[in-house]
Amino acid sequence: MTVLRKNLIDGEWLGEAGSRNINPSNTNDVVGEYASAGPEEAKQAIAAAKAAFPAWSRSGPLARHAVLKKTSDEIMARKDEIGRSLAREEGKTLAEGVGETIRAAQLFDFFAGETLRLSGEMVPSVRPGVGVEMTREGVGVVGIITPWNFPIAIPAWKIAPALAYGNTIVFKPAELVPESAWTIVDILHRAGLPKGVLNLVMGKGSVVGQAMLDSPDVNAISFTGSVGTGKRVAAASVEHMRKFQLEMGGKNPLVVLDDADLGTAVDCAVNGAYFSTGQRCTASSRLIVTEAIHDRFVDAIKERLDKLVIGDALDAKTQIGPVVDQTQLKQDEDYIAVGRQEGAELAFGGDRLERETPGFYLQPALFVGSTNAMRISREEIFGPVANVIRVNDYDEALAVANDTPFGLTSGICTTSLKHATHFKRNSEAGMVMVNLPTAGVDFHVPFGGRKGSSYGPREQGRYAMEFYTTVKTAYTFAG
C-alpha cells in the first residue's frame, strides 16, 4: 500500500492525494502518492515562514548547528535506503543515487560547521570615537524552487545554507521527484526545526511556484531549472525588488587536444556526456576534438559506449539508467532527429531500448561531423546525446568552446601545461576542468556559471553566504 506524503505547512503535515510518482525504469511501479498544493497552501506556507523568521534569525549558531548536524547524520546513516529511493524515482543508477545522498549529508555537515564560523568586521570610523560594525543577517523568507535531476543534492545545497544563515524557507521541489524532497524535509522536521521555519509545498510549478513568484512576502528566490522558467523568476523578482539566484542550462564543451592522453579523454567524455543519463546541467554535450586525435578518439568512445550497460536503475550492474520521463525522452529523440536533418552523422546509438520492464530506455547517442552552428550544438538537450566537432588546432578549439550562449562548465584534455593554463584563463565558464569530466564537482567550493547559465551569486561553499545573507553596517558613538 502506498503511503500518502503530505506537505509541511507551519509544522503540520497537510493535504490530500494529488499526484502519483512513477518509476522511469518500470512504469508499472508507483513510487508513491503525494499531496499537491494550490495557491492557498502556498500563501499559508509563506505566511508561516514569515512569522517564523524573527525567532529563527535570532536563534544563534548552536540551535542551527544542532539541526543541520543531526540531519547530516541521519542522511548518512540511511544513505543506501535514500539512495535507492532516489534511483527509483529519478532513474539514475544505484551508485549515483547513493553518491548523491552522501553529497547531501556532506552539504548539511559543511553548513552545520558554517553556523559556528559566521563572523563580521569591526573598523574605526573616519569620525573619532565612532566604531563601525559590519555584520551579516538572514534575508528573510527564501523561496527554493528545484529541478528533478538532482532530487536531493540541489535541495540540500540550497536549504542547508538558507537555514545556517537564519532564513526561513518555502520549498517547492520538482513534480517528478517528490519522494526525495519529502524525505529530506521529514528528516529536518524531526531534527527539531521550529514550526514554520521550513515549509514544503509539493505541486505544479505554474501554480505553487508561480504563487511564490507573485508573493511580496518572499524576500529571495533560489532557482535551478530551465532558462524559460528562470526568466520568469527574474522578471517577477524585479517586480518585487527581491533578491534572486538562477542556475539554468549548459552546453558545456570538452576540448580534446592531439597531445591528450587518450584513455583520460575517453573517460572524461563518456562520464561527462552520458553518466546520469546525460541529465546534468554540467554534462559535456560538445566534444571539440583536434585533427590528429579525432578518429582514434571517436573509435575509442564508440567502443566504450558499446560496452555500457543500460538498464533498470535499481539493478546493481546498470551503468546508465533510463531517461526520467516520456516528455524528456521525446525531447531527446526529437534532437537526435534534428541532428540528422542538419547533416550530422549519427556514429552510435540513439535508438529506444526494450528491457524486461517498460521504461524510458535510450541508447546513448554520439554524433560526428557536426558544426558548432547546428541546433544540437547550441541548445541544451539534457539527455544521453553528445556531438563531436572537429577543429584544426587549440585556438580554434577555444573559440568554438566559447561560442555558446551558456557558460556553466568547460573542460580540456591535454598534457600541455601551456594550453591547460591558457584554457583555464580564457574559457568563458564558471567552472573549468583540466583532464577531468565537466560534470562532478566538490561540495565545499563555489558552483555556478556565466552568460545564460547562471545569474546572481555563486552557490555552495562559503560563497553561498553572499546570497543567503544581507550586510548591515552599524555605527556607534559611545560618547
Q: Which residues bind ligand ADP (CB under 6 A)?
A: 145-148, 172, 174-175, 205-206, 209-210, 213, 225-226, 229, 232
Which of 281, 333, 380, 466 is labelled catalytic? 281
Q: Give whichever of 9 and 265 is closer to ligand ADP, judged by the CB atom.
A: 9
Report the residue number, 205 or 339, with the smaller CB distance to ligand ADP.
Answer: 205
CB 447 → ligand ADP: shortest distance, Å?
17
Is the Cβ of residue 19 or residue 135 nearer to ligand ADP in the bound state? Answer: 19
Q: How far is the CB of 397 from ligand ADP (least distance, A)?
A: 29
Of 146 and 404, which CB lies nearer to ligand ADP in the complex structure? 146
- Measured from the CB atom, the residue of 147 and 430 that comes closer to ligand ADP is 147
Cell of 362: 535510450
CB of 175 to ligand ADP, least distance (A): 6
Tell me the C-alpha distance between 401 and 253, whole Å: 5
Residue 125 or 206 having the CB closest to ligand ADP: 206
The answer to whether residue 413 is catalytic is no
Q: Which is nearer to ligand ADP, 384 or 461 (CB)?
A: 384
In the complex, minimum distance from the CB of residue 228 to ligand ADP, in angstroms, rounded to a whole number:
6
CA distance 71 to 109: 8
One of 247, 333, 380, 466 is an active-site residue; which one? 247
CB of 324 to ligand ADP, least distance (A): 9
Q: Nearest 5 degrees, angle CA 446-CA 57-CA 161?
A: 20
What CA–CA distance (Å, rounded) separates 87 from 94?
6
Active site residue 247: yes
- Taking the complex as a whole, the smallest distance from the CB of residue 18 to ligand ADP amounts, in Å, to 13
CB of 466 to ligand ADP, least distance (A): 22
Active site residues: 247, 281
